Structure formats: C-alpha cells, structure tokens
Copies of this chain bind each other. A is one copy, B any other.
Amino acid sequence: MNPIGLISIQFVRPFTRENFSVFSRMKSLGFDFVELLVPEKGELDLAETRKALEDAGLGIVLAARVNLSRDIASSRHEAHRGGIEYLKYCVDCASELGATIVGGPLTGSPLVYAARAPEPVAEDERIARKDRCVAALKEAGDTAADNGVQLAIEPLNRFESDVLCTCAQAIDLLDAVDHPSVNMMLDTFHMHMEEASMPESIRRAGKRLVHFQANENHRGFPGTGATDWTAIGRALVDIGYTGPMSMEPFRRNDDRFGVPIAQWRAPHEDETAKLTAACNFLHSTMLLAEHRR
C-alpha cells in the first residue's frame, strides 16, 4: 500500500525543533510520512530530528528548495556549482534523517517565487541549460547512489520554472542523464495545468516515477476540487507504483477580494477533520484502483 504523507508547512513554516509535536499529530491523523523541506544549515539538528521521527513512527521524504544562487541550469558558474553542492547537501541531509528520496525542482531556474518574468530563450541557450543540468544531475546522482538516495526531478507549472514543466520534458532530460539514482516525481497541481491528460502522463513516466504529490487543482484538500482521482489512481496502479504519495493542501479556503492565493498563509481553523478525510480518501482511491484490476 502506498505510504501517504503530508507536507510540514500544512501546519507551520519554518519548521524548527519546537514543532516536533507535529510528527505525532500527523501520525494520529493517519499519515505515514512527513514531507519536510530540506532544512537549511543550522535550522534543525538532524540527529535529534531523526530521533523525533522515529519516536513518532513517521517516515520522511525530503523536498529540496532551489533559488537563483543554487541553480544547476544557470550559466553563472557560481550558481551552477552552488546548485550541485546543494543537491549533494540534500543527499547528506537525507542520509542523516533516514530519508531515501529527495524531490523537487532540482533543475532550478525558478520564476515567480524568484521574481523572474518569463523571457524568450535562444536555442543554443536552451541546449546549454540542458547540458548543465545533465552534468549536474550525473554528479549529484553519484553522491545519491553512494548514499542509497533517489533524486526526483519535478516538473513545475510554467510560472514556477522555465526549464521543466511537463512529464515529457522530464523524460527528455532523464534520457540524457541516464543515471539509476536520478528519476522523477509528479505533482497533480502542476500536471493539472501542463498535461493534456494526467493518466497518460503517469503511464508515460512509468518506472521513472519514484515520488508522487497528490494535490487538488486549486491546492486545497484532495477531493474538494476538479481532479479525477479515480483515473489517476488507476494509472498509478497500472504502472505498478508503490511509492509515497504526499499531500500539500495548504491553500486556505478564503475568497475575499485581495487575498493573495499564491502566498503561503498559516491555517486559520482546525483542519483535523479535512486532513483525516483527505488521507482516507487517497488510501481508499488507491485500494479501489487496485481492486479493479
């Protein structure tokens, strides 16, 4: 059965040792693992955090955070190297925390959250970006292999990345990287915007898929939006996907004019019932998809 997880920023951001009680809360809500942003240096004591996870009986998947100074796609040498070193740092964190997957927009080139506007890209620069990503992922992939970790590149929507937005683009890159420790993840929030058919894309990803984020089209609780979860569950079963599925339903339900929807906000209500329902919903969806076979 696929482990179901929840991102820590559902409750709090940034995450510090004062928030360790979130782990047992997640466990009691029915979640199997926490999706934790890779802690910046000094943000968390990793041994202590691992102990807190073990005490709560909770697994962990890591989500990498890139920016313009850690950007493997960048033409600036320092940013490119910064990106590679960061990926290796992520692998080290994973080892110390007992995580085996580091996912996220590892390919860099952030747009809206880095206050960058979409710009045209010349063909030679497009190819150069790809070459830089391939070299970086091969190098970081070796470190990952040494530590029993999988790196999972993530296509983001067109407003969050200008290099990697679709499953087909990810396959294009992975074919060039050709490294057993470098694979991909998919997030239905982004797929909803970029893929012609989410089930088709899942089937195309196939064995390359090592992590999955089950988010509603509007990033609210799974089951409250427009996503066809039955079709997605069946596609995941068809490719034999037994990996983790995490939820990030941190869009708060608030449609007053002027509330900025892309900006993270703290919860304004007790979300226990919704989180439990969404967790059960994903479990049930996957079980029923399995039963259909």
Is A205 in the interface zone, CB < 8 Å from B? no
Q: Mark A57-90, 1 if CB is under 8 A from B, else 0.
A: 0000000000000000100000000000000000
Structural contact, B118 and A164, CB atoms closer than 8 A? no
Q: Which residue in chain B gives the minimum CB-CB distance to A265? A: B120
**Residue among A113, A197, A226, A263 facing the most chain B CB atoms (10 A cut-off):** A226
Q: Mark A178-218, 1 if CB is under 8 A from B, else 0.
A: 00000000000000111111100000000000000000111
Structural contact, B226 and A192, CB atoms closer than 8 A? yes
A118's contact among B112, B170, B197, B218, by CB below 8 Å, is which? B112
A257's contact among B116, B133, B224, by CB below 8 Å, is which? B133
Stretch with Cβ within 8 A of B (4 or more), from A24-32, A38-46, A91-99, A123-131: A123-131
**Residue among A159, A170, A197 facing the most chain B CB atoms (10 A cut-off):** A159
**For chain A residues 131-162, which have a beta carbon within 8 Å of chain B?**
133, 157-160, 162
Structural contact, B114 and A173, CB atoms closer than 8 A? no
Structural contact, B256 and A169, CB atoms closer than 8 A? yes
A1: B residues at CB distance < 8 A: none
A157: B residues at CB distance < 8 A: 159
Smallest beta-carbon distance A190→chain B, Å: 10
**For chain A residues 239-281, which have a beta carbon within 8 Å of chain B?**
255-263, 265
Structural contact, B226 and A263, CB atoms closer than 8 A? no
- Contacts A226-B192, A263-B120 given; indicate if A258 touches B129 (C-beta within 8 A): yes
Smallest beta-carbon distance A262→chain B, Å: 4
| A residues contacting the other copy or chain, number (CB 8 A) | 56
Which A residues are within 8 Å of any B CB, using their own CB? 73, 111-121, 126-127, 129-130, 133, 157-160, 162-166, 168-170, 172-173, 176, 192-198, 216-218, 220, 224-226, 255-263, 265
List the number of copies, as a whole number: 2
A117: B residues at CB distance < 8 A: 112-115
- Contacts A193-B192, A196-B226, A218-B195 given; indicate if A258 touches B130 (C-beta within 8 A): yes
A256: B residues at CB distance < 8 A: 126, 169, 172
Q: How far is the CA of A120 from the CA of B259 in the complex (A)?
A: 9
16 new A-B contacts at CB < 8 Å, known A113-B118, A115-B116, A118-B263: A112-B117, A112-B118, A112-B159, A114-B117, A119-B260, A119-B263, A121-B259, A129-B258, A162-B263, A163-B260, A192-B192, A192-B193, A193-B218, A196-B216, A196-B225, A198-B226
Structural contact, B169 and A194, CB atoms closer than 8 A? no
Smallest beta-carbon distance A196→chain B, Å: 5
A226's contact among B119, B159, B197, by CB below 8 Å, is which? B197
Q: How far is the CA of A265 from the CA of B258 in the complex (A)?
A: 31
**Residue among A120, A126, A217 facing the most chain B CB atoms (10 A cut-off):** A217
